[in-house]
Structure 1
Amino acid sequence: MSENTRVAIVTGGSSGIGRETAVRLGRDGFAVVIGYAGNKASAEQAVTEVEAAGGRAIAVQADVADEVAVTALFDRAEQEFGGVDVVINAAGIMPLAPLAELDLQVFDDVVRTNLRGTFVVDQQAGRRIRNGGAIVNISSSLTLLARPGYSAYAASKGGVEAITLILARELRGRDVTVNAVAPGPTATPLFLDGKPQELIDRIAAEPPLERLGQPSDIAEIIAFLAGPARWINGQVIYANGGSAA
């Protein structure tokens, strides 16, 4: 591996936006560590796709909310590839229910994965990412769109945005950018699962571009922030095709 090869960790890299981002970074020549929660076969397939795109990749299982597992994830990246330059926080869960009906254990699970998970990964990134690096957290346009049923998910993502803006300022002097991408409805398993086609069609018709986002749409933005976009820092980029609150 060339000394100039940049190294990325992508949590949630076995599916959806995370997987598409890993492959997109592979096309840019990155070495990618794909963090995954439990689906080893999907993670290994993602490794194959990254390598086919021109990058190098390994898959490492890690619970993003477990600081011991996340420390080991960063250790593995450093052992395999020599360091970490880019960290993408794409792991997340999205159970839906009206606020008054949501089981509080489910709420705790959402906060644990989406908010604590981002915090734990960002904590390691803040300590270990190399100067000149980039951290990209995944928020959601639901923090603005306020769609019923998404209170727990949107609350967790509002916290992700707060973490992002503060960490960007805490890393002053390191030449490390920290930004969040806030997708609107995107055609991933996380979004599509359990929704009737009529609802999917109605949501897809809402933005002026009259379609759902594709994982590749979001991956392009993340790759831009991970690479050439050095003057974008401490920002939340809403990527939703023009959907309005």
Structure 2
Amino acid sequence: MESLKSDISAKIAGRQVSDAQVSGKLRQFANAWRQRHASSGGSLDAQLDYSSPAPASQRFSIRGLNMRTLQSGDKETLTLSIGGAGQPLRSVSVDPELSEEAIIQRFEHALSPANIGVSKGDAGALVFSVPETSWPATRDTFAIKGDGIRFPTGQLNRVRTEAVPAAVEPDAWQAQDVQALRQTLQQVIQALDRIKQSREVVSRALAEAASRVDRARPMDDAAGAATLAQGFASAADQPGYQIFSSTVAALLGISRDRVLSLLALGPR
């Protein structure tokens, strides 16, 4: 990413950087981004938020499900279907007199068995989250039936799910002219800032894991564990998305209970 930023900056400034060099690095990063889920062991979502041991999630909204519509009009029972035929239906009783927190709790209670989380987003929208691996099926099967107030009565109707945009969208980056290069450079800089923030989160997770290992190991192994953890942390500080995603993958599943269980297998 730093190399891509430097090449684009040089190209805009009129220095000798070939179109093929810039285009090649754009493709290289786009390919790395498409491998994000596999490279990070499913622990890095599209917003570059690190999550472990819980899997990375996809957040989305549904048109018509926001606090403005849910806190106006009459009471209504919404029937939700996720996953298509054969899956249990979920019911939510919408009462305009409820607080925002109570409305969110009702949706959470109904959808948690389907492994879908609910929170409040910008402008009062309900924001749902589902594991990335479940997103295609959720997106293609989410249907709602109402009482004719907010949603039509009768048959279940497929709703339009709108995914929260990814923090980085390299497939949209262009380099055909100076204007496109300037826009791409701005997006690259923003992506670098976001990656830096995520790397800091991962580094803290590494430090916490190293501390757990240090406390749990026998005294004669503590120095070696600290050296290993320090080397791992140093690797995480190196620039570059690929190193970052590989480090995130290494953290997948690290928890206090797992560390202690593994240490218990060693010699006493």
TM-score tier by shorter-chain length is: under 0.3
Q: Which structure would you say has the larger Rg? A: 2
Q: Which has the higher helix share?
A: 2
TM-score with structure 2 setting the length: 0.24
TM-score with structure 1 setting the length: 0.25
